[in-house]
């Protein structure tokens, strides 16, 4: 690896854009690691075997490690260097991806997925913090919009790429593709990245790191287990209660730390809080549909995986252009107007999608899906930059880690809540169709929620396929209306908190003295 450029040395435009390209490649490959491997699970099971629970941990292990380590990774970037953290993360990610492609058994695969999640957290937090040092003003907005676009493309198109790789090359090619992208990011970006760190860092806040990582680990575990075990399961309750207890401990530790890993006074800044709302809004409006809609189309309507994937392109295609267009508009329109307006558009699309449930064919779904995808893509390209721009540049790693952790946690909460809500709505609808089914109703609802209509019919033999589909469509319509209401409420909150992009809030006294300058640099 080449020697770091001095932090005060001017960097040419080509070097800056190569750094942006490298971080964007990391932003592309990380969601691929989340959405791609689940597609390969049947092929992995055929070769390596394993129980359904063990196979689910191919996904869960990555999400657990990734979500739990993001906040600590941001502090590491500020303390020991953003380039060093990014380089360590992306090189470790490449190495682990190679080992995953060579995994001899399922246990080794799952353990390696844990390590891959840790490496991904280092790469994302270090890369985001490094970008904030290289770009300023409108250029920073455009840079983060490209990063958001890359992240959205990886999230939206990962399953299609993984499916093609599994079919043509085998499941190990999914991990080799991640290796190839990580190597490109390392080769072109790392040598041109300047080293930078927080000059006032006093060493790592170990109590804060341990308590935050443990808290996020328990929260992520509870959210991952809830859909399959139920919210009343003792292990789920223990994980969630433990997360709350550790959150209280973390807050206590951080209020007493001389140089905390999370400056809690940032939560007095409306723009910082507003930025944390945005991934929750896009989670409820957009991300949950990536999971729910294919299950509905394939399991209830008999679409093939390719047909369902083609229809989902209407939801994902706006991610290719809209985030960058939003960045270009951000110097003319306030951040609150753009982000709130985008989420309101998505809410309108959700209402539209609910209104036509069960009444129209596939072609009628294209327009509301395009509207939802367009609305969600507006804040998607702005929220990373908004979250980082409100803090001093010296603490960009902290902001990247906090936002990354809130993003993963918020999206996890959205997925878990929607899974539970859909199962509850289905049980309500099925009870009207089969009032004497008893305990089988709950099991059938869970099966239908995952698109398993065949087993649902076995549990409710008195209902034919048309009745089950009717009950599902009614439940789906109500779910869309609920998601629209939540999205609209978050849109209003984002509009109110983000406000006028030119308005600078007073920085709390506990923040560093450079915060005012950081706010002035906000998009």
- How far is 404 from 263, CA to CA, in rounded Å? 16
CB 402 within 8 A of CB 74: yes
- How far is 386 from 326, CA to CA, in rounded Å? 13
Cα torsion for 59, 65, 66, 67, to the nearest 10°? Answer: 100
pLDDT at 93: 95
Closest CA to 21 of 197, 196, 194, 181: 181
- How far is 260 from 126, CA to CA, in rounded Å? 18
pLDDT at 475: 92
Q: Would you call 502 exposed, middle or buried from its count of C-beta atoms within 10 A (0-12, 13-18, 19+)?
A: exposed
Closest CA to 79 of 322, 257, 221: 257
Long-range contacts of 352-356 (CB under 8 A, 24+ apart): 353/480, 354/476, 354/477, 354/478, 354/479, 354/480, 354/481, 354/484, 355/477
Closest CA to 493 of 284, 266, 275: 275
- How far is 422 from 444, CA to CA, in rounded Å? 12
CB 445 within 8 A of CB 308: no
Residue with tokens 């209902």: 463
For 296-395, where are the alpha helices, taking DSSP H only?
305-316, 322-329, 335-355, 366-380, 383-389
Q: How many CB atoms lie within 10 A of CB 425?
A: 21
- 106: Cβ–Cβ under 8 A, 6 or more apart, which residues? 44, 48, 49, 50, 54, 55, 58
pLDDT at 201: 67
Q: Which two tokens stand for residue 132?
A: 């904030």
DSSP H or E segment with residue 73: helix 52-80
Q: Which two tokens stand for residue 473?
A: 């469509």
CB 261 within 8 A of CB 208: yes
Burial 201-236, CB ≥16 within 10 A → b, else e: beebbebbbebbbbbbbbbbbbbbbbbeeeeeeeeb
Sequential pLDDT tens for the chain (523 residues):
333 444 444 456 778 888 888 888 888 888 888 777 877 887 888 899 887 677 878 887 888 888 888 888 888 888 888 899 999 999 999 999 999 999 999 999 999 999 999 999 999 888 888 888 888 777 777 888 888 888 878 877 777 788 788 888 889 999 999 999 999 988 888 888 888 877 776 667 778 888 888 888 888 888 777 766 777 889 889 999 999 999 999 899 888 877 777 778 778 888 888 888 999 999 999 988 987 888 788 778 888 767 777 788 888 889 888 888 888 888 788 889 999 999 999 999 999 999 998 776 778 899 999 999 999 999 988 888 787 777 777 777 777 777 877 787 777 778 778 888 888 898 888 888 777 767 677 778 877 787 777 778 888 887 777 888 888 899 999 999 999 999 999 999 999 998 764 333 333 333 443 333 333 333 3
pLDDT at 281: 93
DSSP symbols for 374-404: HHHHHHHTTHHHHHHHTS-GGGHHHHHHHHH
pLDDT at 523: 36
Q: Which two tokens stand for residue 513?
A: 């003295």
For helices 82-101 and 52-80, give the axis angle rounded to 10 degrees. 160
CB 280 within 8 A of CB 413: yes
Long-range contacts of 55-59 (CB under 8 A, 24+ apart): 55/106, 56/228, 57/110, 57/113, 58/106, 58/109, 58/110, 58/113, 59/34
- Helix/strand/coil (H, E, C) string of 436-496? CCCCHHHHHHHHHHCCCHHHHHHHCCCCCHHHHHHHHHHHHHHHHHHHHHHHHHHHHHHHH
- How far is 509 from 435, CA to CA, in rounded Å? 61
């Amino acid at each position: 690896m080449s020697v770091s450029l001095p932090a005060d040395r001017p960097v040419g435009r080509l070097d800056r854009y190569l750094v942006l390209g490298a971080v964007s490649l990391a932003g592309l490959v990380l969601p691929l690691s989340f959405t791609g491997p689940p597609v390969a699970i049947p092929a992995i099971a055929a070769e390596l075997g394993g129980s359904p629970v063990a196979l689910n941990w191919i996904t869960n292990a990555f999400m657990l490690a990734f979500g739990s380590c993001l906040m600590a990774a941001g502090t590491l970037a500020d303390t020991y260097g953003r380039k060093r953290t990014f380089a360590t993360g992306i090189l470790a990610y490449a190495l682990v991806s190679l080992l995953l492609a060579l995994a001899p058994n399922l246990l080794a695969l799952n353990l390696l997925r844990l390590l891959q999640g840790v490496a991904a957290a280092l790469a994302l937090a270090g890369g985001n913090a490094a970008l904030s040092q290289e770009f300023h003003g409108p250029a920073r907005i455009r840079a983060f919009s490209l990063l958001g676009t890359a992240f959205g493309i990886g999230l939206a198109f990962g399953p299609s790429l993984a499916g093609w790789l599994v079919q043509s090359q085998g499941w190990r090619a999914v991990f080799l593709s991640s290796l190839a992208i990580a190597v490109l990011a390392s080769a072109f970006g790392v040598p041109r990245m300047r080293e930078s760190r927080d000059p006032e860092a006093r060493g790592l806040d170990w109590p804060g790191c341990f308590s935050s990582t443990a808290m996020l680990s328990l929260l992520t575990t509870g959210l991952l287990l809830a859909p399959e075990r139920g919210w009343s399961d003792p292990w789920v309750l223990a994980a969630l209660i433990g997360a709350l207890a550790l959150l209280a401990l973390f807050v206590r530790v951080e209020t007493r730390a001389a140089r905390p890993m999370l400056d809690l006074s940032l939560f007095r800044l409306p723009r910082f809080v507003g930025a944390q709302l945005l991934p929750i809004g896009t989670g409820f409006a957009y991300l949950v549909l990536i999971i729910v809609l294919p299950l509905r189309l394939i399991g209830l309507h008999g679409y093939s995986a390719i047909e369902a994937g083609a229809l989902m392109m209407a939801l994902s295609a706006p991610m290719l252009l809209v985030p960058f267009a939003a960045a270009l508009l951000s110097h003319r329109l306030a951040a609150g107007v753009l982000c709130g307006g985008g989420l309101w558009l998505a809410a309108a699309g959700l209402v539209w999608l609910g209104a036509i449930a069960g009444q129209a064919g596939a072609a009628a779904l294209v327009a509301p899906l395009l509207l939802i995808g367009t609305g969600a893509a507006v804040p998607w390209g702005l929220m990373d930059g908004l979250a980082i721009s409100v803090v001093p540049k010296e603490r960009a790693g902290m902001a990247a880690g906090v936002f990354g952790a809130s993003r993963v946690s918020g999206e996890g909460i959205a997925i878990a809540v929607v899974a539970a809500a859909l199962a509850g709505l289905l049980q309500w609808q099925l009870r009207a169709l089969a009032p004497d089914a008893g305990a089988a109703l709950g099991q059938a609802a869970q099966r239908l929620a995952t698109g398993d209509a065949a087993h649902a019919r076995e549990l409710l033999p008195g209902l034919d396929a048309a009745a089950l589909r009717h009950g599902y469509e009614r439940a789906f319509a109500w779910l869309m209306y609920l998601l629209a209401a939540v999205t609209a409420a978050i849109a209003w909150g984002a509009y109110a908190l983000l406000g006028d992009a030119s308005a600078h809030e007073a920085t709390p006294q506990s923040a560093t003295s450079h915060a005012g300058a950081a706010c002035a640099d906000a998009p």
